[in-house]
Structure formats: C-alpha cells, structure tokens
Amino acid sequence: MATTTKKPSTKAVVQDAILYPLDWLEERSGLVGGIKYFLFRKVPGDINWFQTLGSATLTAFIVQALTGSILAMYYKPDAKDAYSSIQHITNDLWAGWLVRGMHRWGASVFIILMFMHMGRVFLFGAYKYPRELNWIIGVLLLASGLGEGFTGYLLPWDQTAYWATVVGININGTAPFLGPFLAQFLQGGTYINGDTLSRFYAIHMLMIPGAIFALIGLHLYLVIRLGVTSPPWSKEAAGTGSIVKPSSNGRSGLSRFGRQGR
C-alpha cells in the first residue's frame, strides 16, 4: 500500500505486548477463554455477600495447603523428634511461629467457614434440585475437613495431642461391629505408637488433601455448570433458567438423558 505507515501509539504497543502472549496461549490451549468463562460467569443480580462464603472457604483451604506444605519442610513426623521439631519451628526459626499459627488457627477458620457456607446453602435452599449432588460433595468435603482436624491435632505430639487422640481413636473404637478394627487401623497397632504418628501425618499430608483437591474440583465444576442460586427474597424464582442439556455426543450414550435426547 502506498499510504504512509503511521507510528503506532505507545498504548497500542503496550496493549500488543500484553495481548500477544495471551493470544499465543489462547490459540494453543483455550485456557484464557476457559478462565474467563470461569471467572466472568453470569450470577443473579440480587446476589448477596453470604454467597462469598464458599470462596472464603476455598481461600482458607489454600492457606492451609500452602502453610502446611511449608511446615512440612521443618516438621519431623517421628515419635522422638516431632515435639522438638515443633518447638524448633515455633521458637527458633524465622517467622516459624507465624506460619505455624496461621496453620493452627487457619484450621479452625476453615472448619468454621465450611459450617457457615453449609448454613448459607441450607437457609437459601440452594441444596435443592438440581444441586443435590453438590450438597453431597460438600458433605464429603466437610467430613474430609474434620478428618484433617483430627489427624492434624496429633502432630504437635504433646500431652494434649496424645490424649485427645487416644480419646478420639477410642471413640472410633466404640462404633458397632467394625469400630475395634477401625481404631486398630488408625493406631497402627494395639496401642498408640510411633507408627500412629507417621500414619496420621501421611493421612493428614497426602491422602485427605488429595481427596479434598479432587472434591473441590467436582464442587466447582458443578457450581459452574449449574450456576449460582438466587437468594430466597429474589424476585426471580431460582432455577427458572434452562439447565444445560447434556451433550448428545457419543459418550453421553452411557447416560439415560443422552439416549433420549438423540
């Protein structure tokens, strides 16, 4: 073309510099669109602050996961060293008292927020069709969170931790039929011993957090798929919007709806 090429403005250059890598990523993965779809969803107009309790719980869990991973760098899950390593974290290491405190108090915050979130869902009727499954996943998350509390309580390995766990395990032991087996499994033997500590550490550190991550993934997937409930005082009745129809591609042949929708 014969027209003189105008020098692009600084703003355009900056915009280009920002957008180029995003476009590059989007073209190859669709991730940018996916994150936009996740973050910029349509929610009911009269939504309420109470509906942020779920996000708050998620934040509390992320804090627990982060501080817990870092505490694990200094903690020694061994009957002889556990208590002294906790003392070392709290008294000697820089900001150790702070990170341990975040994890210790954050645990209570996490549990309290879970219950508040649960209460909000209950009082708003947000557990009703079609969100029953998300309530069930939430209950599993609550149970996992309480399991984290139970297993984490032993790790300081002081007198409180020890005897609280003795009592907790023996409460499990009084469950009918399989209770004694459950208690002995948790203890890793007839009595609490060094294996109990390592076992609780592994459950606290790896097993339950893995389950929680997976369950949170499912929980959020259903929130995105089904949308956010309107508050009970909303002018628009909740759930009037169309539910996403199951796709009718090949794999949905496994579900009854997919078959009928063909």
- Tell me which residues touch another protein (CB under 8 A): 79-80, 163, 166-167, 169-171, 173-174, 176-177, 179-181, 183-185, 187-195, 197
Q: Closest CB to another protein among 132 and 195?
A: 195
For residue 99, the minimal CB distance to another protein (Å) is 26
For residue 250, the minimal CB distance to another protein (Å) is 15
By C-alpha distance, which of 130, 120, 75 is closest to 246?
A: 130
Q: Closest CB to another protein among 44 and 168?
A: 168
Q: Closest CB to another protein among 36 and 80?
A: 80
* Rounded alpha-carbon distances, angstroms, from residue 121 to 41, 115, 170, 211: 19, 10, 33, 22
For residue 173, the minimal CB distance to another protein (Å) is 4
The count of other CB atoms within 10 Å of the CB of residue 147 is 16
Q: Is residue 148 within 8 Å of 204, Cβ to Cβ?
A: yes
What does the block give as tokens for 217?
A: 């993934």
User: 42-61 burial, b for 16+ CB within 10 Å, e for fewer?
Assistant: eebeeeeeebebbebbbebb
For residue 206, the minimal CB distance to another protein (Å) is 12
For residue 209, the minimal CB distance to another protein (Å) is 17
CA–CA distance, 196 with 181 (Å, rounded to integer)? 14
CA–CA distance, 102 with 89 (Å, rounded to integer)? 13
For residue 182, the minimal CB distance to another protein (Å) is 9
> What ranges in the chain are assigned the alpha helix state H?
10-29, 31-39, 53-71, 82-91, 96-123, 132-154, 159-173, 179-187, 194-202, 208-226, 256-260
Q: Closest CB to another protein among 115 and 163?
A: 163
CA–CA distance, 158 with 175 (Å, rounded to integer)? 26
Q: Closest CB to another protein among 208 and 226?
A: 208
Three-state SS at 30: coil
CA–CA distance, 193 with 225 (Å, rounded to integer)? 47
Q: Closest CB to another protein among 167 and 244?
A: 167
For residue 19, the minimal CB distance to another protein (Å) is 45
Q: Closest CB to another protein among 71 and 192?
A: 192
